[in-house]
Structure 1
């Protein structure tokens, strides 16, 4: 499987579309820190985005979109001088799914947020900068625009299950935003996400994710990437921050943890499914990575955070 697809699936990625915003004249809205990853796309006009802790405003033009990967307050505004008002009351007065700010309608934004499972912070969000800006005109931005057009079409026509289709299209948009970020700013990513921008490392990651239960060697992985063992080992460690076999161990533990969270499958079956020959071998590796034994992990209350440990980077 594709590593990015794998991780997004593991994180139980879901989207929720929110009220649109129509604005005109001079206006400014101050938003509280969003839950999950906030996204907005400028469908018409232009405005400025300011995020607490990020230097300078981000100019947004028609066709641009952005992700906010940190729960930080932010402001959308027409100009730097207008004093912002709280966005909450403005959106509480929304009609027909649209909130209005200022006077006029030259600006139109659509948006929503992505929510993830318990491991998202370590596996994905910590790997992203606070703001991922996708300018119009870039290759992946065209696909993002296609997804937004399709979302608009679904919601406007009111077809059966339109909301569900629109939410799946939003996840498609997220994938392309992440791909664009990797292609444009490979050095701002870290861990496995950074590895996807290196073709040699990406080939090895894809092989590991396609068959995590296989007893891989560095030589096997080097062959899939058509490089020497030393080249693969060096490039993998530089990009991901650990060796390929250590990464494999940690990914197997992530897969085992998902099975422990989601069902009553026996530890022996889980061990075999992720490449361990016995319960004891999995238990030792699991406790080393997660800081807790598999049985104790399974009994943790739903929604309780995972211990702070070194995650699959």
Structure 2
């Protein structure tokens, strides 16, 4: 799971430590990022686009992994204002901002952030996650999630030296804990890649592939490593992950290569070697077949489309007071 987070994210950002007094409503647009909301005080409602309202209370955590448009409101039916209007720019580009909405109703505290995810190639976990992952405070006990939330909240409040780097790391940790808490609760009912993690043979093979993607894996070598007959292993792996073993190996290698191309300046032959290819040509052909672009084109495009450097929370000189945020202005 840590591998999935490290490979698929392009950065983390806290874009709001918010104190809202009812009435209020804020809308979040659809986009290529996973939003996360933590209720630090009071209660509110999350309204997914086209979905039913979800009631949130203190210490609840919500992950919106699909980039689905949604709103946070003090009560269903409340008019909303776009979050970009309140923070002064698009999510991922605006300066992190504390928001205060001055109403005469109850207080809701929210810590809002985002994980900027790479869209290509997508990991199979994205196919099984629901549009909204809601971890209620009571269900988070024993998962490590409450401790991660306490650390993140304390660091955001403290805003000491190095806070940006610390918060970015804690957001990664929070992402892992949210996914782990959801998997622990859902894995018996959730087929596919999640169930594969709990299968002794397939889960063991996945660990080997992730640990050493450059190894010259074959179906026989993986089957021997997890001590399962080759035919049984291949059938079980394909059933649970939705991919044949060697197709998964190639997909994971290309995912790792994508990160290397985005984040490092190593020559293509070095990237090829680190994901198991002796031939730069063979690597380039496999990469284009999987990702849809040549490695060089992908690297150039990734640099041109970089949203912003990874960052954490950096408090504004003073909070933005957004009185009238629930007046229905769009």
- The change in CA–CA distance for 1:61 and 1:247 in structure 2 (over 3 A counts) is same
2:10 & 2:265 partners in 1: Cα distance? Answer: 23
Alignment correspondent of 1:84: 79
Unaligned runs of 5+ in 2: 89-96, 307-330
Residue 156 of structure 2 corresponds to residue 155 of structure 1: yes
Q: Size of the alignment, in residue pairs?
A: 296
Deviation at 1:170, TM superposition (A): 1.7
Deviation at 1:62, TM superposition (A): 1.9
1:108 & 1:291 partners in 2: Cα distance? Answer: 43
For residues 119-164 of structure 1, the C-alpha deviation after alignment (integer angstroms, 9 at most, x for no partner) is 3756665553211111112246752222222222223334321232
Alignment correspondent of 2:14: 17
For residues 237-295 of structure 1, the C-alpha deviation after alignment (integer angstroms, 9 at most, x for no partner) is 12221111111122223333444444554443333322223233323433332344445
Partners of 2:13 and 2:113 within 8 A in 1: yes
Instruction: Report the RMSD for the aligned CA atoms in angstroms.
Output: 3.2
Alignment correspondent of 2:324: none
2:268 & 2:135 partners in 1: Cα distance? Answer: 43
Residue 303 of structure 2 corresponds to residue 302 of structure 1: yes
Of 39, 55, 62, the match for 2:58: 62
- The change in CA–CA distance for 1:43 and 1:141 in structure 2 (over 3 A counts) is farther
Higher relative contact order (CA 8 A, sep 6+): 2
1:49 & 1:252 partners in 2: Cα distance? Answer: 37
Residue 46 of structure 2 corresponds to residue 45 of structure 1: no
Secondary structure at 1:138 match in 2 = helix
Alignment correspondent of 2:217: 216
Listed as ranges, the matches of 1:1-313 within 5 Å are 4-25=1-22, 27-33=23-29, 35=31, 36-54=33-51, 56-80=52-76, 82-88=77-83, 97-100=98-101, 102-119=103-120, 125-139=126-140, 143-186=144-187, 192=193, 195-298=196-299, 300=301, 302-303=303-304
TM-score by length of 2: 0.76
Deviation at 1:176, TM superposition (A): 0.6
Partners of 2:277 and 2:283 within 8 A in 1: yes
- The change in CA–CA distance for 1:190 and 1:277 in structure 2 (over 3 A counts) is farther
Partners of 1:191 and 1:241 within 8 A in 2: yes
Partners of 2:71 and 2:80 within 8 A in 1: no
Unaligned runs of 5+ in 1: 306-313
Higher deviation after alignment, 60-69 or 131-140: 131-140
Deviation at 1:186, TM superposition (A): 3.5
For residues 26-62 of structure 1, the C-alpha deviation after alignment (integer angstroms, 9 at most, x for no partner) is x3414031552111111222222111022x1112122
Secondary structure at 1:99 match in 2 = strand
TM-score by length of 1: 0.79
For residues 157-191 of structure 1, the C-alpha deviation after alignment (integer angstroms, 9 at most, x for no partner) is 34321232123212111111011222223488786
